[in-house]
Amino acid sequence: MALLAIFGPDRGREELATKFGVTILVIVALAGCSRESVPGIPTAPAPPAPGPPAPPTGSAVLWVMVITETGRCIEGATIQTVLAGGAGDPIPQKTPCSAWDSEGGLLLTALTPGVPLTLRGAAPGYAPREKSFLPDSTPQMISAVSIELSKAQ
């Protein structure tokens, strides 16, 4: 009877029921369009963040000599690897050494290509010196490098 009051007394029961049904259908349809009642579309998980770059492959080799200002090999010279907290043990270079004859010095193998390496050359009567090198990974290549020392003052 409350519906009769809303739609008026001159309407028939069937017409009233039809309008009521349509009204309910419209309300349900509108409620179905609400974003609150519709579950979200599942999304694929985000791809993992890229990790650190892969370490360089291969092995680099440095042939190191401690020389004088004139290019002569220094008898009794040592070479040390300089580390963050100090230096490694001094390694004596082999003498006689000569860059022209491929003899002596010190051959450092299994170095990581592209990772800088700091070496310290020292010899009695000479001022020690540190020098940084960047090992190369070119196959079948040995990089020849030198650490030049000056006479101690």
SS (H, E, C) 63-109: EEEEECCCCCECCCCEEEEEECCEECCCEECEEEEECCCCEEEEEEE
- Domain range spanning residue 13? 2-32
For position 22, what pLDDT does the model report? 57
Residue 113 has a CB neighbour count (10 Å cut-off) of: 16
Domain assignment present for 41: no
Successive 10-residue mean pLDDT values, the chain, 153 residues: 50 59 59 56 70 62 91 93 82 85 85 88 96 81 89 89
For position 50, what pLDDT does the model report? 67
Domain assignment present for 40: no
Please give the backbone phi and psi of residue 100, each rounded to the nearest 5 degrees, phi first.
-80, -25
41: tokens are 């579309």
Domain assignment present for 142: yes
pTM, 2 dp: 0.59
Domain assignment present for 11: yes
